Amino acid sequence: MRLHAAPLTFDIAAAFVREHHRHHTPPQGHKFSIGAMDGDQLVGVVIVGRPVARRRDDGLTLEVTRLCTDGHRNACSFLYGAAARAAFALGYQRIGTYVLKSEPGTSLKAAGWKLIAETPGRSWSVPSRPRTDKHPIEPRLLFERGAA
């Protein structure tokens, strides 16, 4: 059966991430979330929000803050494509996401996203605000897709 997109509430998308994501918990919020459906079964979610990096938060850019599937074939590239189309339909000019450097980015490339930068891995913990890292802190690759 072919995948189709469905709008999701944040609560449903976050619950899917809590159940299936390898190394992240859900983000704090979203602008929108989309589900990948195989018939009536939810097989993946993409959560899209404001960019985490302040310099990228220009009002015209969105960021995929979580993408998670149950391993369904082609669900990742399907969701990256759906997220980009939805962002552009809403008037945003670009959409980006970060993946771990150890991940190949195959689904992003298949969905037409381009690798634009590599960022160093680092902790969110600083002396003025100590935190416990609950995620990998290895370098990340920034992929982006712009409006056509």
The rounded percent of the chain whose pLDDT value lies above 70 is 97
- Domain extents for the chain? 3-146
In sequence order, the β-bridge partners of residue 37 are: 4, 42
**Does the domain at residues 3-146 carry the CATH identifier 3.40.605.10?**
no
Could you tell me how far CA 76 lies from the centroid of its own chain?
Answer: 10
The structure's pTM equals: 0.89
Cα–Cα distances (Å) from 120 to 65, 100, 113, 129, 142, in that order, read: 18, 10, 20, 20, 11
Task: Write the pLDDT tens digit of every residue in 70-99.
Answer: 999 999 999 999 999 999 999 999 999 999
Q: How far apart are CA 31 and CA 22, in angstroms?
A: 23
